Structure 1
């Protein structure tokens, strides 16, 4: 790679390397991939971390992989607001659909994980043994070896956005690209500033979304504030929409929360993660509106439950969960629906309630209006979650631990 390229040129190079005949591909192919929910933090962190790693000596190409099928990009309208000012469109991103049809020999690949530290979904089986590092703000699940090559990252730190860790780790590279003579030789000052503005625009988006514009006292850390300031400093000489932080945050939030008009299947898969624990499989969908909203605007109780059952069958789930986040009347609220779909799933859900119900502040939703099942072959229960500080980042591990415990009984 040349010392200084735009994001567009970088993605073109990465796509060409991936789509070439097997004998002409780099060996090994190095991928940077975010988690299976493929939210802004995962997509943008993978894109920028791959970009900066590629521009760091020895300039080995890193391919940013968005962890979703290409068709699912249409479910994320906020991506347009992030990518368009950077000279990109969602179609420029490299997705699971772009992996070579002739297949990839896992031995010819290496994987860097951002915004997670255990591969899940279709990538988990073949490629888990090829992970060489990670940058993550979730709890360390122990899957990343401690004895990594010295030039590979193993970064775990609590902060609102994984992007904050990416920028902090890659700041020396970004500063060098912005100021080095080689960068100036590759582009005039105006072009170099435009590249920086594009990078900053992509970087700021997940930080603002994941920290509620740096106002969340539960999530925002000094690392997030430092990373946002770093990105904003690169915008000082640019006429970029992200210079008005509040307006940019409001635009992204409105687009991210716009689920009106989507069918239930799309709502359930829009922000979805799946885990395997022993013989059981868990899937958790996060919905950015409350249950009252979706039941009113999307479909009634029967339609919701039919869609969730169908989605669980499609995904092969033993336990299906839906978490909602909303602000009715301006007050932040969470709801949680969990469905054990077979006897093993029911035992896991009961264990989850016994272990975590009080911690999460679970209270029956609307007089048990969405509850159901015989409590043995199936059991479905829905709550208001008074412990609003517990997001999927905390609730999913609680469910997974209950699944592990139930399988030991």
Structure 2
């Protein structure tokens, strides 16, 4: 068992102990990534939690309210499974999934990961039962638990439910946010004296996490701490067949460096994207590269291939939800819900997968109705013929939403390089009847959701 995996199992134990009041002191801190639950969010949470657990247990929490750890997590986030496996197992080379150490990858995830869905189930199972007996009958009911917990946010800087302090799908837990590390627009929610409070531009949040840990001297210190802990506790881990036989500081550092490198490489296209890569990203990779288990290019190619192929077995609603973020803004005194779906396949591929342009449009509209969205934006980013491409498909429901999108197009069409999209179903995907929708090629390749979403939000709030 490697030290990184032992840390994840220990974090799960702290979580269960906290819910059952077996070890309330010190109170653990949950490290929570954003609701898209992409590689950057998940791995940033793991890396930060590992190194911040010197005195207080930190528990990485994967922000998926409807996906339990196990087979569903593996199916919907196979690139994370691949990254975690490559970082912690020998041989550190791509292997067929059926040869994964003759173990069930789903069981591997259940042993080491905690999702919001898991948290909700654990909380429900830890509720107390009250039995009331009268002269005529006996009734039993469960006492619903509401608990409070501390949290650090990574890859975002504000909870969706500010008043309740809860996560979507976990209304029974009120989180007190201590701080954040993020590379998105500052929502202005966290106090200036929050700790940590790092909100800076970078290609990957993991880069900021690595550099913050390095600045605090935690990186090597925690590797040594966990290595010593492994030596003391290895006798209690015989039931796990994947025990790391060389659990020294160097080996642990290799695991951590490999895992931490993955989101940076994926988000910056192996540091080749001049629009996304910042000095924070190159500095972080310079720090990590000497300790990688496999060559940097091979690590990037393996995980990127897994990510690109991940959509093949998903339904359209699952694809729309897979890398999804949502915001609420007010325009003309009307609350507008905006949803952004990011994809690694082109619109033409999505149309072919679901059967027809009309079915694709209907699927996006059904998704918007289910989420009570007024504006849905599908952003695609993919490579075709060795060339990187972007597309933008927007659906607006309701008059105010249409006005907002109109303002967005008027102000940003030239800046984003929005050009007419020509493909199968061009007519069906552009129109005003029923719902307003448009599809474009986005020629400014430097603008991802991180830049486009604020523009759409500003278009809503600009309405008078």
TM-score range, shorter chain: 0.7 to 0.9
Q: CA deviation at 1:400?
A: 1.2
Structure 2 matches for 1:9-408, cutoff 5 A?
Answer: 9-20=6-17, 21-24=19-22, 26=24, 28-55=27-54, 59-68=55-64, 69-70=67-68, 71-85=72-86, 86=88, 89-91=108-110, 92-99=112-119, 100-101=123-124, 102=127, 105=146, 108-120=148-160, 123=167, 130-148=176-194, 152-171=195-214, 172-178=217-223, 183-184=227-228, 186-187=230-231, 190-192=246-248, 193-235=250-292, 240=293, 243-258=294-309, 259-278=311-330, 279-366=335-422, 368-374=427-433, 378-406=435-463
Q: Deviations for 1:237-288, whole angstroms, at most 9, x for unmatched residues? A: xxx3xx2111111111111111223221121111111112242111111110
Q: Is the 8 A contact 2:416 2:442 kept in 1?
A: yes
Q: Is the 8 A contact 2:47 2:260 kept in 1?
A: yes
* Equivalent-residue separation in structure 2 for 1:185 and 1:137 (angstroms): 33
Secondary structure in structure 2 of the residue aligned to 1:191 = coil
Q: Is the 8 A contact 2:326 2:340 kept in 1?
A: yes
Distance 1:315 1:190, change over 3 A: same
Q: CA deviation at 1:73?
A: 4.5
Distance 1:293 1:312, change over 3 A: same
Larger helix share, 1 or 2: 1
Q: CA deviation at 1:163?
A: 0.6
Secondary structure in structure 2 of the residue aligned to 1:249 = helix
Give TM-score, length-normalised by structure 1: 0.87
Structure number with greater Rg is: 2
Point out where structure 1 has 5 or more consecutive residues left out of the alignment. none
Secondary structure in structure 2 of the residue aligned to 1:194 = helix
* Equivalent-residue separation in structure 2 for 1:378 and 1:62 (angstroms): 46
Tell me how large the CA RMSD over aligned residues is.
2.5
Give TM-score, length-normalised by structure 2: 0.77
* Equivalent-residue separation in structure 2 for 1:25 and 1:349 (angstroms): 51
Distance 1:261 1:280, change over 3 A: same
Q: Is the 8 A contact 2:151 2:175 kept in 1?
A: no
